[in-house]
Amino acid sequence: MSQPRTLLHTRHVTCTAYLRDDGLLEVEGEMRDITPENTDLLFRAAHAGDDIHHMQITLTLDRDLVIQHVQARTLAGPTPYCQEIASAYQALEQLRIGPGFLPKVKAKVGGIHGCTHLTEMFGPMATTAYQANFALARKYNPLRERLASGRPLPRSPLVDTCHTYRLDGEAIKVLWPEDRREPASADIEQR
């Protein structure tokens, strides 16, 4: 049990992914910083339960996770100027979510070229996009069926993404058995 404590601040980050009828993915991100007590900000007063920050981003992605459209919104910020930078996020259109994505985001909308809070939402939104793609793969191309088929398997995109999915780990031995690896995939592994 922790020591008695007083709530100082709450941050909610929510990311939700959808499959649109046209086949594109949409990932919605929302971040809210909520004050538990009345507070006097430099440019405005906030009452207990009010948002200090309330930002939303909607990403439209193709199935290769290339950003087709970005819409960023600041519904509440500590200054009246926070909303001015929202359109800068359109510069991320045509970026692909994958290795090196976050440094590319920061290069385009980091620092004075963006909003710290909007920019930091792209980390959880990117992983949400990946999880959405995995959900579609589970639905339309079930892994158990592929493993049971006896056919060669391409290199899993999970290889070496974390400790559990390291190439020499037990999970990869099940997910991508050595005797079932496609020749091109095995060649990549040996490089």
- 89-112 pLDDT, tens digit per residue, is 999 999 999 999 999 999 999 999
pTM of the model: 0.85
The answer to whether 152 touches 182, Cβ cutoff 8 Å, is yes
Query: Which DSSP symbol is given to 153?
Result: B
- 116-170 pLDDT, tens digit per residue, is 999 999 999 999 999 999 999 888 877 778 778 888 888 988 899 899 999 999 9
- Whether residues 83 and 124 fall in one domain: yes
- Whether residues 131 and 182 fall in one domain: no
- Whether residues 154 and 77 fall in one domain: no
Environment class of 13 (CB within 10 Å of its CB; exposed 0-12, middle 13-18, buried 19+): middle
- Whether residues 183 and 169 fall in one domain: yes
